[in-house]
Amino acid sequence: MAQQRIGRIQWGDLTFGPGSRYHVTAIEGLDDLPDIRADDMERPGQHGDYTGPDYTGPRVIQLGLGLRADSPDELRALTLALRAATQPQRQPEAMRLPDQDTLVYGKIRRRSIPYDAEYLWRTGTAALELYCADPYLYGLEERSASTTAYSPAAGRTYPLAYSGVVPATNLALNPSAEVDLTNTADFGTITRTRDTGVSRIGAASIRHVHSGTTTAGTRYSISPVSTGTVRVSIWVRHTGSPAPLRGLLHWMTGSTSLSFIELLPLAPPDANGWSLVTGAYTLAGGQTVDSIGLSFQSASGTWWADGLMVETGPTLHAYGDGSMTDYGWSWSGSPHASTSVRVITGTGRAYGSAGQSGRVVAVNDGNSPAYPVLRLDGPIANPSVEQVNTGGRITVDATLAEGEFLTVDTRTRAVLYMGSSPRRSWVRAGAAWPLLMPGRNELVYRGTALPGPSEQPSLLTVTWRDTSL
């Protein structure tokens, strides 16, 4: 279990801290926030700045050591061992803090081992500086999860609802503006129109045009909720010029906001430029939520919203509305003006073997996005990995035979055939590289099966570490 005291530190073959001859006397920069690399710009003729997303610079860790020996010769041996372990490096190496469940990657950039003849009989001191170009703090455990590629079920196909799908309810009354903008309202001063040329769900979305630097958007009516947790997801697309200055997701009673969360920076967009916004709010006693507000502060900007999903309970499902009858959804009242329900009753018929889901869950217990490494093992043609909760997707235009594999490092964007031969050109244009957000992430693995025995399915293996700053 992680603890507050530093405890042991491992660097190469050396161990510092309890049980070693190298005592840790000080450490700086481990829990500090690295310097921020800001993208701010002055507001001409106004107070304040325009501000963009903040990114961190490298992390620098200062480590103080006390050397404790039984003789001058042993002290000299400790000094030489420390000097040998802290030579200039070509690549960053791992420094592990086992008692804090933390790992960082860095290079030793400074080393000081002062000589003090008055105290050099059995004791000495040293100071090290570790430069971490990658500022993230990683968990010690390398996590992994695997799934076979999706394969369809055997047997006949019927136009019926299948059992085994989780029931769900979308509380939004007009979640995707398919026919009009009823049960939605202006949220601030803004021009809103139904746009059939841009959509993420169905055939239309809501287009927002700011007339100035205002905070405004849409307020969606939902079936009132008076207890529990209200979970929300909605797709957002922004032109990016000018970039939004602030984004807010509100839980509201009428026009009164009960709570809100900041949305910027948005999640990485999918191939069509849409970002999935999610949030949850647990109601206090006496509170009722009857609408969801989505707004951005933008200087004459344009953006779109589509596919509002509102649920109560422990799980937020993928979007659904009553028009999606093939997936078991139906309207509880008037189409596009009432809640939507997915109720699965089963068919009472015999079917062939169930299909393989091709889904895998990756949980990032850190507080920063984690970059996964994907390994795709054949046989499969044109494999793709889609991240359900963010819309990230990567497709490989290639065929992997049995025994062949491809590794994809989403941080460096390296794509290696058999772990060594670069194949970056195999990635289809427009890829939105998967990024594991803090918490639960679901990935879907699909592709075209190759002829061969069914007991040799393709496999996706996702590897990551819990990630924090």
Q: 3-state DSSP call for residue 326?
A: helix
If residue 266 lies in a helix (H) or strand (E), which one and from where to where? none
Average pLDDT over residues 51-76: 92
DSSP string for 31-70:
SSPPPEE--EEE-TTSSSEEE---EE--EEEEEEEEEE-S
> To which residue do tokens 């890829």 refer?
431
Q: How far is CA 392 from the centre of its chain?
A: 9
d(CA 99, CA 35): 26
- What pLDDT score does 83 carry? 95
pLDDT value of position 4: 64
Return the CATH fold of 143-154+354-468.
Jelly Rolls (2.60.120)
> Looking up tokens 């501000």, which residue turns up?
51
More confident residue, 456 or 141: 141
Evaluate if residue 61 carries a pLDDT over 70.
yes
SS3 (DSSP) at 81: helix
Cα dihedral: 111, 117, 121, 124 (round 10): -20
Question: Which of helix, strand or coil describes residue 212?
Answer: coil
In CATH terms, the fold of domain 9-138 is: Elongation Factor Tu (Ef-tu); domain 3 (2.40.30)
Q: Of 281, 234, 464, nearest to 362 (Cα)?
A: 464
Q: What pLDDT, on a 0 to 100 scale, did the predictor assign at position 450?
A: 73
Cα separations in angstroms, 367 against 34, 270, 409: 15, 22, 20
pLDDT, tens digit (0-9, with 9 covering 90-100), for 367-381: 999 999 999 998 899
Reported as a single tens digit per residue, the pLDDT across 411-430 is 999 999 988 889 999 999 98
Note the pLDDT of residue 118: 67
The pLDDT confidence band at residue 298, using thresholds 50, 70 and 90, is confident
- Terminal CA-to-CA distance of the chain, rounded, Å? 19
**Hey, is 106 helix, strand or coil?**
strand
Tell me the domain boundaries of the chain.
Answer: 9-138, 143-154+354-468, 168-342
Residue in 402, 386, 395 with CA at minimum distance from that of residue 450: 402
> Ranked by mean pLDDT, which of 300-304, 311-315, 437-441 comes out on top?
437-441
Q: Is 249 exposed, middle or buried (0-12, 13-18, 19+ CB in 10 A)?
A: buried
Q: Are strands 399-400 and 380-387 parallel, antiparallel or unpaired?
A: antiparallel
Average pLDDT of the residues in 263-274? 77
Q: What is the rounded average pLDDT of the residues 449-460? A: 69
Tell me what pLDDT residue 336 has.
93
Cα atoms in the Cβ-side hemisphere of radius 13 Å centred on 422: 5
pLDDT over 60 at 156, yes or no: no
Residue pair 340/321 in contact (Cβ under 8 Å)? The answer is yes
User: Is the pLDDT confidence value at 384 over 50?
Assistant: yes
Nearest to 370 by CA among 327, 407, 411, 403: 411
Q: Is the pLDDT of residue 449 over 80?
A: no
C-beta separation of 219 from 184 below 8 A = yes
Instruction: Please give the average per-residue pLDDT across 161-170, as a whole number.
Output: 64
Tokens 């499902």: give the residue.
317
Helices within 86-161 (DSSP H only) = none
Whole-angstrom distance, CA of residue 435 vs CA of residue 130: 27
| pLDDT class of 10 with cuts at 50, 70, 90 | very high
Place of tokens 């570790």: 130
Range from 54-68, 225-239, 258-272, 338-352 carrying the lowest mean pLDDT:
338-352
Is the CA virtual torsion 152, 156, 160, 164 positive or negative? negative
For residue 457, pLDDT over 80 is answered with no
> Is the pLDDT reported for residue 342 higher than 50?
yes
pLDDT at 119 over 90: no
Q: Taking a C-beta distance cutoff of 8 angstroms, is the pair 398, 376 a contact?
A: no
Average pLDDT of the residues in 20-47: 92
CB 135 within 8 A of CB 58: yes
Question: What letter would DSSP give residue 100?
Answer: G
Query: Considering the chain, what is the average pLDDT of its residues?
Result: 86
Mention every residue, 6+ apart, whose C-beta is less than 8 A from residue 403. Answer: 378
Tokens found for residue 155 = 């047997």
Q: Does domain 168-342 have CATH number 3.40.50.300?
A: no
Instruction: Render pLDDT for 191-217 as a digit per residue (tens, 0 to 9).
Output: 999 999 888 888 899 999 987 777 899
Q: How confident is the model at residue 347 (pLDDT cuts 50, 70, 90)?
A: very low
DSSP helix/strand/coil, 215: strand
pLDDT of 113 strictly over 90: yes
Q: Running DSSP on this structure, what letter comes out for residue 432?
A: B
Q: What is the DSSP string of 363-429?
A: EE-SSS-B--EEEEESSEEEEEEEETTT--EEEB-SEE-TT-EEEEETTTTEEEETTTEE-GGGBPT
Q: Is 39 left (phi over 0), alpha (psi -120 to 50) or beta?
A: beta
Residue 425: predicted pLDDT: 93
Residues 336 and 432: their CA atoms lie apart, in Å, by 31
Q: Is the pTM of this model over 0.85?
A: no
Shared fold status for 9-138 and 143-154+354-468: no
Buried b (16+ CB within 10 A) or exposed e, 158-171: eeebeeeeeebbbb
